[in-house]
Structure 1
Amino acid sequence: MLAENLRRARAERGLSLSELSRRSKIGKATLSQLEAGAGNPTIETVFSLSRALEVPISDLLDNERPNGLTVVRAADVEVLSGAAVDLRPLRGIESGDAIVEVYDQQVRTDSRQDSLGHVGTEHTIVQAGRLGVRVDGREVELGPGDYVGFDGLLPHSYTALDGPVRSVLLLQYRADQRLHSAKAGPACLAETP
């Protein structure tokens, strides 16, 4: 699904592979492989593409919008892994002008997941363990039941402080940031510092 969605998003924005490579800091060869369906992207790659194309992550990974009763079995969901984090996409929820993606997030012991930033607002609720969160130079420590929220465009990182951390990650977007939105065109793709 990533290959099809990536090609479509790039075409809708009128971007060449070279321009997307420059904006995402991902090599042209890697982008070409991803568009051909031959790559296995990491969290870092998908978040970089989300940032460069200014679309929700779920728009790159899936098109299905489930209705009615939704059950997501852990064994049925492909895990998106990064340097320190494993994400399982659970559900995308649309309500009015807002979209919220729900992820099961696990941060591995003795590792840090860095992000240069991406579109949307990031919300994390710790379920188990102690999580170090750094956002734009500010650091906080969270325990079970604690919450943090911040602008996803800011550079940020997650660190498991003394063992693995289990948390719920919510990514919140505006509806006009959707890949399939009529409003999402070249004018929406402003460079962010």
Structure 2
Amino acid sequence: MLGDRLKALRLERGMTLKQLSEVSGLSVGMLSQIENGTADPSLGSLRKLAGVFEAAISSLFTDPDAPLVHVSSPNHRPTLGTTGSEFFYERLTPGRGDLEMLTATIPPGRASSAREWAHPSTECAFVISGELRVEIGEAEYTLTAGESITFDSRQAHRYVNASEADTSIVIAVTPPTP
């Protein structure tokens, strides 16, 4: 779905892969792999592509044919890599553009991004297991299994696993801007 949507946006603007590569800073090979569904781009790459098309990241995943009822099964979910692909988010929801739910297992010492960033949404993170540090502006919150945090994600934020064990989480974002 992402590859099809990216190709459609590129062609709507009359761009070649080479032109998109020049503006986005991503290689022609990577762009081709994304369009063909053989590579999962990092969130950083998605941000660059969304910027080129002056669109929200979520628009890259919007599927006009998304079902009204959607069942998500392990090993059949689209994935989103973090910058540097330190870990992957699995997408639990279809691309209707109203709600995004993701799950991830964050390895020890890893973070959702190199630095905090903001986007116009409301976000909720629920810790399934382990310990999660949530950095929001100057504040830090440490959550353990069973706890959640909800915040206005226009505040710069990121998720960090500062513990020595994996941390499993579920994140809900509305409207979607992963």
Corresponding residue number in structure 2 for 1:33: 32
Letter in 2 for 1:99: D
Residue identity over aligned pairs, in percent, reads 19
Work out whether 1:66 is the aligned partner of 2:67: yes
For residues 79 and 133 of structure 1, do their structure 2 counterparts lie closer, same or farther at Cα, with a shift above 3 Å needed? same
CA pair 29-55 structure 1, distance change in 2 beyond 3 A: same
Match of 1:185 in 2: none
C-alpha change, 1:103 and 1:158, in structure 2 (3 Å) is same
Gaps of 5+ in 1: 178-193
User: Which residue of 2 is the match for residue 129 of structure 1?
Assistant: 130
Check conservation: 1:7, 1:35, Cα contact below 8 A. no
**How big is the alpha-carbon RMSD for the aligned residues of Structure 1 and Structure 2?**
3.3
**Correspondences of 1:34-53 after superposition (within 5 Å):** 36-37=35-36, 39-50=39-50, 53=54
- 150 and 105 in structure 1: CA distance in 2 versus 1, 3 angstrom threshold: farther
Unaligned runs of 5+ in 2: none
Partners of 2:51 and 2:107 in 1: CA distance:
24
1:137 CA displacement: 3.6
Shift of 1:19: 8.2
Is this contact kept in 2: 1:51–1:119, CA < 8 A? no
Question: CA shift at 1:31, angstroms?
Answer: 6.7
**Letter matched to residue 45 of structure 1:** S
TM-score (norm 2): 0.70
Q: Secondary structure at the match of 1:102?
A: strand
Counterpart-to-counterpart distance in 1, 2:48 and 2:120:
10
Who is 2:142 aligned against?
A: 141
Q: TM-score, normalised by structure 1?
A: 0.65
Aligned twin of 2:99: 100
Q: 3-state DSSP class of the match of 1:125?
A: strand
Measured after TM superposition, the shift of residue 92 of structure 1 is 3.8
Q: In terms of mean alpha carbon deviation, does 32-41 or 124-133 score higher?
A: 32-41
Instruction: Show the counterpart of 1:172.
Output: 174
Q: Give, in whole Å, the separation in 2 of the partners of 1:105 and 1:129.
A: 12
Q: Secondary structure at the match of 2:112?
A: strand
Counterpart AA for 1:172 = T
Q: Is 1:113 matched up with 2:112? A: yes
Q: Which has the higher strand share?
A: 1
CA distance in 1, matches of 2:62, 2:73: 16
Partner Cα separation in structure 2 for residue 76 and residue 35 of structure 1 = 17
**What is the CA–CA distance in structure 1 between the aligned matches of 2:127 and 2:50, rounded to whole Å?**
24
How many residues are paired up?
A: 165
Query: Which sits farther off after the overlay, 103-112 or 41-50?
Result: 41-50
